[in-house]
A and B are shown apart, each in its own frame.
Chain A
Amino acid sequence: MRRARVELSGWGRTAPSVGTLVDVAPGELRDGSVKVDDLIRGGDGDDGRGAIARGRGRAYGDPAQNGGGAVVRLGPGAIVLDDARGTVTVGAGVSLDELLRHLVPRGWFVPVTPGTRFVTVGGCIASDIHGKNHHVDGSFGAHVDALTMLLADGTLVSITPESDAELWWATLGGMGLTGLIVDATVRLIPIETSRCMVDTERVPNLDSLIQRMETGDEHYRYSVAWIDLVARGAALGRSVLTRGDHATLDDLADISRGAEGDPLAFAPGTLADVPPGVPNVLNRLAVRAFNEVWYRKAPAQHRSVESITGFFHPLDMVGSWNRLYGRAGFLQYQFVVPFEATDTLREIVDRVASSGHASFLAVLKRFGPESGGMLSFPTPGWTLTLDLPAGASGLDRLIADLDRLVLGVGGRHYLAKDATATPDVIRAGYPRLDEWRAVRRRVDPDHRWASDQARRLDLL
């Protein structure tokens, strides 16, 4: 175990705080050489501030920081693949990047991946993340069979949905506040190749996008639309819809280029790194120009073979891209509204487009059924994600307007992205919050797990 006092913020680089970063190996927890008290007492003897787990720091706001307290980073654990059952038991500190490098050449894929590989398995569970396949496969939590957790009372327990249903459903999406996830057993997707067959279409406006997604998504495992949130008028909500599936060997045989070499090859790299100290280059002019080019260059309709990185994690090709927003940082606003609330969705797109706040590409996606996690974000409906530079004046008013619109139709906000919500906004979006709190009172009566976000949103 190693300790260091450091300033931490989320991926958006806003609202930092200083806490004690505690690096611990999973083995130290298993053999008892590091106890829960050692983790929680990380804060230089300052008791009462608790501890929270941190993976790769990809949550945008403050859920993985803990001012004055301990922030626990679990070292990478083992990756144990069970080929016969199609499951992997993996340390919570292992990233999807590391996991995919192990799994893909062996013909397996993670059941759900977000837009970046640089998240840990523990983070995927604590945020009950979703990916482009939510409308078919649900969230990450729906594919987890068992968890090992370190609880506030110091016990190391293995749980399944059957052994402790309450704790299970409070932990999926529970933002690490029910205990430290140490490892997980996850069901995998078999793949024949490391490529994807992707259909790309350019869609002139939001109405036609909604209509195409409503009717066509069911034919694809993966579906997502990138929306230009700067375009207005007749082009409001113009977008590029990309939908696809894992390519089979037969698919690749039809296309000579894709069939060369090992069909399961997977060695993603980084094209460039953004150095520190870059000013905000994503201003309105730059974003408008980028979105224009990006929309024009997209094919009207096109089928292509793409790599896993190109299809799932395009931004991973640019290291530290969050620095492009300069010192003030940025925030990512993500919400879901019910399917029938398309008028509200349109109004929100219109508000953002006419607000003058430059949003780099936004992402629209249809969610399938809920996973059952008490604080899990995905619920059937439309989810829209947009990036906003945090330094812009008037941003607070735009967000307050959007919050009202989202809550007005029974929507909610994603805790892994949240950096601006209030306790009232979260309470309104998560009707099972009190049920979750009751479980927390049972497993952590002394509030030993805590984060800046938990305090800010009054979750505990």
Chain B
Amino acid sequence: MNNAVHQPQTIVVLGGRSDIARAIVTELASPALRRVVLAVRDPSAADTAGYLDPSAGAGHDVEVDAIEFDATDPASHEPLIERLVAEYGDLDVVVQAFGQLGAPGLDDPVASAELATVNFTGAVSSGLAVARQLRRQGHGTLVVLSSVAGVRTRASNFVYGSTKAGQDAFATGLGHALHGSGARVMTVRPGFVRSSMTAGMDEAPFSTDPAEVGAAVANGLRRGSDVVWVPGVLRFVFGLLRFAPGFVWRKLDR
């Protein structure tokens, strides 16, 4: 249960290796935080001891655990959430942070489908499993890390973009479906984020870093936002770009 100043006690990260999720957890760390559960493909490789920056706001020992999670196995998602609840109680914030980046092109149908399986199918099954528990407990927020790449897909990464578009549409729709249940969904649309996932890639305009996303998410949770853009200006940038004529849009995608 969050306290009166929006501090969660239990945070679950689906995709526990995400730099952005870690920055979010760092922002949400407070004396109220009791445990963080990292759902990852390989729990034995997770650095649970070093996960939380000691200078973050917890000021006490926070239990950090890792648990096995396979985004490509939808049938495992509901049992996983049930196991988490049996062990840790109510889930206050669940961050859906897993995903693959990649730019399979016109000739990669198999790799493209794999990307869709992780980024979209996995998001749907795990999102519904989380939503079921949040409804059951009557409170809690699912934070979905979407991307501006899904707002309007680009030639250079349209497969990735389309998976994020699907995830984004699923998340906002889920939020509407959960209205009145006490469960909430917050969709986060960052621009290019400098992180280990994007290392070596060319930066796009309005790029940001995990810390900025973390702060924006924490702020969004305090305000009860449904959608958060990072940086905030992207809301207006994409408000225009969405309607740019095709030849302009293609030109922008160098």
Residue positions of A touching B, CB distance < 8 A: 5, 7, 12, 14-19, 46, 49, 61-62, 66-69, 329, 331, 390-391, 395-396, 399-400, 403, 419-424, 452-453, 455-456
Contacts and interface: CB of A to CB of B under 8 A. Distances in A.
Contact of A19 (B3, B9, B34, B138): B138
B5 A400 contact: no
Q: Nearest 5 pairs between A and B by C-beta?
A: A18-B182, A67-B138, A419-B4, A14-B4, A68-B138
Contacts of B200: none
Contact of A331 (B1, B4, B7): B4
12 contacts: A17-B137, A18-B180, A49-B136, A49-B137, A67-B139, A390-B4, A391-B222, A395-B5, A396-B57, A400-B59, A420-B4, A452-B1
Given A422-B31, A455-B90, A456-B9, A68 B3 contact: no
Interface in B134-162: 135-139
Interface in B8-55: 9, 30-32, 34
A321 B3 CA distance: 22
B2 interface: yes
B126 to A, nearest CB: 20
B100 interface: no
A7 B3 CA distance: 16
Nearest to A452: B1
Contacts of B180: 5, 7, 18
A399 B9 contact: no
A422 B4 contact: no
Nearest to B89: A455
B1 A400 contact: no
Given A67-B138, A453-B1, 13 more contacts: A17-B138, A17-B139, A18-B139, A49-B137, A49-B138, A67-B182, A68-B135, A68-B182, A391-B222, A395-B5, A396-B7, A400-B31, A420-B3
B195 interface: no
A68 B137 contact: yes
Contacts, number: 85
A216 B116 CA distance: 76
Nearest to B32: A422
Contacts of A16: 139, 182
Contacts of B5: 14, 331, 390, 395-396, 399, 420
Contacts of A453: 1
B181 interface: yes
B76 to A, nearest CB: 23
A399 B3 CA distance: 12
A452 B2 CA distance: 9
Contact of A12 (B4, B31, B57): B4
A67 B3 contact: no
Contact of A420 (B32, B57, B59, B182): B32
User: Is the contact region of chain B dominated by helix, strand, or loop, or is it mixed?
Assistant: loop
B4 A67 contact: no
How many chain B residues sit at the interface, stated as a range, is 20 to 34
A15 B3 contact: yes
Contacts of A400: 31, 59
Interface string B159-181: 00000000000000000000011
Contact of A456 (B3, B31, B57, B137): B3
Nearest to A61: B4
A277 to B, nearest CB: 15
Contacts of A49: 136-138
A262 B9 CA distance: 55
A455 B137 CA distance: 11
Contacts of B59: 400
A323 B138 CA distance: 23
B117 to A, nearest CB: 32
Contacts of B139: 15-18, 67-68, 452
Contacts of B32: 420, 422
Contacts of B182: 7, 16-19, 67-68
Given A16-B139, A400-B59, A455 B1 contact: yes
Interface in B194-238: 222
Contacts of B9: 456
A62 B60 CA distance: 24
- Best-buried of A66, A423, A452 by chain B (most CB within 10 Å): A452
- Best-buried of A15, A331, A453 by chain B (most CB within 10 Å): A15
A68 B180 CA distance: 12
A456 to B, nearest CB: 4
B63 to A, nearest CB: 13
A428 to B, nearest CB: 13
A50 B72 CA distance: 35
Contacts of A62: 1
Nearest to A6: B180
Contacts of B137: 17, 49, 67-68
A19 B1 CA distance: 14
Given A400-B31, A422-B31, A68 B136 contact: yes
- Best-buried of A7, A49, A390, A396 by chain B (most CB within 10 Å): A396
A456 B4 contact: no
A67 B31 contact: no
B130 to A, nearest CB: 14
B4 A46 contact: no
Contacts of A66: 138
Contacts of B2: 15
Given A49-B137, A67-B139, A455-B89, A329 B4 contact: yes
Contacts of B181: 18
A9 to B, nearest CB: 9
A396 B138 contact: no
B19 to A, nearest CB: 25
A399 B60 CA distance: 15
B248 to A, nearest CB: 40
A57 to B, nearest CB: 15
A69 B136 CA distance: 8
- Best-buried of B32, B135, B222 by chain A (most CB within 10 Å): B32
